[in-house]
Amino acid sequence: MSLFIATGTNVGDKFKNLKNAKDALCENFQMIAESRIYQSAAIEYLNQPDFFNQVLEFKLPSSNPNEVMNLLLELELKLGRIRGIQKGPRIIDLDILFWGLEILTLPDLIVPHPRLFERSFVVLPLSELPGFKTLQKKFSFSFIFENSSTPIS
């Protein structure tokens, strides 16, 4: 099964930010597939630029989910993320969406990501990946959203 990671950015050169994130992730995990890049308006904190989002599918690593989450936080810092306004502008955001078919509730990590099912900019790119068919056997996905996103690459 697979590890699915969402990447997002809305500051600076957004294409370059996503490429840098993908490159950094590929140094640590074996990539299976990548979605197209989607553009969407910000949600929750609205006074910020549009986001570019992509979902990446990797071979499930031998490390545990907490170790991977800590690595993602380190990579965000390395790639220039500054945590200012909660839900505000960011150079990069890395989120674990799925860890195979497991449901995890850990002190600092909930998988599947709690709000992914409501977000077009996550579900639409996720649905392009080969592992999505397996996810659909266990999880229910709707393609009706209160937000919209459009593929741009």
- What CATH number should be reported for the domain holding residue 95? 3.30.70.560
CB atoms within 10 A of CB 77: 12
Cα angle value 51/128/8 (rounded, 5°): 20
Res 63: pLDDT: 92
The tens-digit pLDDT sequence of the chain (153 residues) is 899 999 999 999 999 999 999 999 999 999 999 999 999 988 876 677 889 999 999 999 999 999 999 999 999 989 977 776 677 688 899 999 999 999 999 888 999 988 899 999 999 999 999 999 999 999 999 999 988 999 997
The pTM is what? 0.94
The total number of structural domains that make up the chain: 1
What is the helix, strand, coil percentage profile of the chain, to 5?
30, 25, 45
**Quick one: which of 100, 35, 36 has its CA closest to 68?**
100
Res 153: pLDDT: 76
Res 42: pLDDT: 84
Alpha-carbon dihedral 24, 42, 66, 1, rounded to 10 degrees: -70
Q: Which domain holds residue 86?
A: 2-151
Res 85: pLDDT: 67
Res 46: pLDDT: 63
